Amino acid sequence: MSRPTPWHRTALHRIPGGRDGRRMLLVSIIDKTGTGLWAGCTALYFTYVSGLGLAQVGLLMTVSGGVGIAGAPLAGRLADRFPLVRLIAAAQLMRGAALLALLTTDNFLLLTLYSALGALPDRAGSVLIKLYAARLAGTERVRYQAIQRTTVNIGWSIGGLGAAAALTTGSTRAYGLLLLGNVLTYAVIAALTLRCAEPPAPARVAATSADAPKARPANPWRDRTFLGYTATDAALFLDDTILQVAVPLWIVHATSAPVGLAPLLLVLNTVLVVLFQVPLARFAATTPAARRLLVPLAGLFVVGTAALAASAAGGPAVAISALVVAVIALTFAEILHATASWELSVALAPAEAQGAYLGVHGLAHSTQRFAGPLLVTGVMAAGPLAWPVLGLALVGAAAAQHRVTRDRLAQPDTSSLSVPAVTVSE
């Protein structure tokens, strides 16, 4: 009589991509654990260890964020020319080297230079990992992305808890140790990445004459449909900045809610993503289904921004209730948008230039990370009624994206989840 397979082994085998898919998930969780150690104390390190002023810290982070924008399209171009696994490992080692260089100086210009040099491979790495997952998981890419986002949030939580524990010592030495801990994770994930096999490039995918896609621009910068999609996606990525930047500041400056609510709401966000990212991925099992998610996404933005406005209109009980509603709505908006964005960006990219296209799409997130904080602080300065206005603007962005992708997605495409790909070797 055969023994039943343990549930954890069955679950592991259900992860798309086989052994390399599971190994890359391990890379993601280690990566984000290290990032969680460092991200929460970056500004504090520059303040208490490097001795920079508030304006200098702000300028340093703005410059590095601006330089990092170039990392996404650069990575996309390189990915169409060089082995993907080696590019990912090189980006990880570059991130570690740039971070380690911060320990060598307190000079403002050098710190800015090293931070900018680290931002380039950081944004490049995000695009390369996405491209690797898309090539490895194939038609199961949406499920794989959902699992990956879950592991990323777990990693962030572990790293954040570790950083919080280290900083309770009150010692400036803790900042340096957290930095070194992050550098160590980069070395570990580079070694793990190099053990992964190179995924088949989509240019090797052969389609039958009935399934052959129509000609598309090979250059994403000349593809108006894709540029329009990327521009609208940059706006929809604002859910990240609203949750991470605006909500904590809004609690302090505009509501009667206790300041301690801010970290609890971030924990709520993380828990919801971990619980619902994978189950909700089934609603984007095909490319048309992913496009349809833009409709409920728009509704969630309306609810979330309206609740933020309402949080400033009453006492502590009203403020807390409204903020919880806002975070729940915006978290589900984050989940749906992440799922739709992953699938649509891959489906809109022609196979022969997938790296270049996803590199350009990476500008959406990079630009939002750079300009988003400035936008949401402007909204907060304008007062509570500005939140519903922003919500309507995001509804407009979702509607524009729904329309701009309509004709392109109506064309048959071998990259769609509904069309099984046939490789040359098969």
Question: What does the block give as tokens for 5?
Answer: 């397979």
CA distance 244 to 240: 6
Number of H helices, E strands in the chain: 19, 2
Q: Is the dihedral of CA 117, 118, 123, 125 positive or negative?
A: positive
Supply the DSSP string of 289-344, one letter for each residue.
HHHHTHHHHHHHHHHHHHHHHHTTSS-HHHHHHHHHHHHHHHHHHHHHHHHHHHHH
Helix (H, G, I), strand (E, B) or coil at 205: strand
pLDDT range class, residue 410, cuts 50, 70, 90: low
Check residue 117 and give its pLDDT: 94
Supply the DSSP string of 77-90, one letter for each residue.
HHHTTS-HHHHHHH
Phi and psi (nearest 5°) for 423? Answer: -80, 160
Q: What is the mean pLDDT of residues 333-351?
A: 88
What are 205's strand-pairing partners?
Answer: 423
Q: What is the mean pLDDT of residues 397-407?
A: 91
Question: What does the block give as tokens for 117?
Answer: 């040099």
Q: Considering only CA atoms, which of 343, 166, 374, 376 is closest in space to residue 250?
A: 376
What are 423's strand-pairing partners?
Answer: 205
CA distance 93 to 289: 38
Helix (H, G, I), strand (E, B) or coil at 194: coil
Most confidently modeled of 16-30, 42-56, 319-333? 319-333
Other beta carbons within 10 angstroms of residue 122's beta carbon come to 21
CA distance 135 to 79: 12
CA distance 271 to 260: 18
Q: Is the dihedral of CA 362, 364, 365, 371 positive or negative?
A: positive
Phi and psi (nearest 5°) for 205? Answer: -80, 130
User: Is the separation of the CB atoms in 25 and 151 below 8 Å?
Assistant: yes
Q: What is the pLDDT of residues 367-390, one digit of tens each?
A: 887 788 888 888 988 999 999 999
Pick the residue with more confidence: 422 or 339? 339
pLDDT > 80? residue 4: no
Q: What is the mean pLDDT of residues 150-155?
A: 83
Cα dist from 105 to 68, 109, 112, 184, whole Å: 21, 10, 11, 20
What are 422's strand-pairing partners?
Answer: 206
pLDDT > 50? residue 38: yes
Pick the residue with more confidence: 7 or 315? 315
Residues 46, 74, 112, CA angle at the centre, nearest 5°? 15
CA distance 257 to 421: 53
Residues 6+ apart with CB under 8 A from 77: 355, 356, 359
pLDDT > 80? residue 414: no
Q: What is the pLDDT of residues 162-210, one digit of tens each?
A: 877 777 777 788 888 989 999 999 999 999 999 988 887 665 443 333 4
pLDDT range class, residue 420, cuts 50, 70, 90: very low
Other beta carbons within 10 angstroms of residue 39's beta carbon come to 16
pLDDT > 80? residue 7: no
What average pLDDT is seen over the chain?
Answer: 82
Angle between the N-to-C axes of helices 84-101 and 108-137, in degrees from 0 to 180, rounded to the nearest 10:
160
Helix (H, G, I), strand (E, B) or coil at 368: helix
Q: What is the pLDDT of residues 283-319, one digit of tens each?
A: 877 888 889 999 999 999 999 999 999 999 989 999 9
User: Which stretch of 76-90, 100-114, 342-356 has the lowest confidence by average pLDDT?
Assistant: 342-356
pLDDT range class, residue 218, cuts 50, 70, 90: low
CA distance 357 to 75: 10
CA distance 154 to 230: 28
Check residue 424 and give its pLDDT: 28
Q: What is the pLDDT of residues 92-142, one digit of tens each?
A: 999 999 999 999 999 999 999 999 999 899 988 888 888 888 888 777 777
Q: Over the range 45-67, which residues count as b (16 or more CB within 10 Å of their CB) and which as e?
A: bbbebbebeeebbeebbeebbbb
CA distance 319 to 11: 41
> What one-letter code names the amino acid at 17?
G
Alpha carbon distance, N-terminus to C-terminus of the chain: 36
User: Is the separation of the CB atoms in 413 and 213 below 8 Å?
Assistant: yes
Phi-psi bin for 197: left (phi > 0), alpha (psi -120 to 50), beta?
beta
User: How many residues are given for the chain?
Assistant: 426
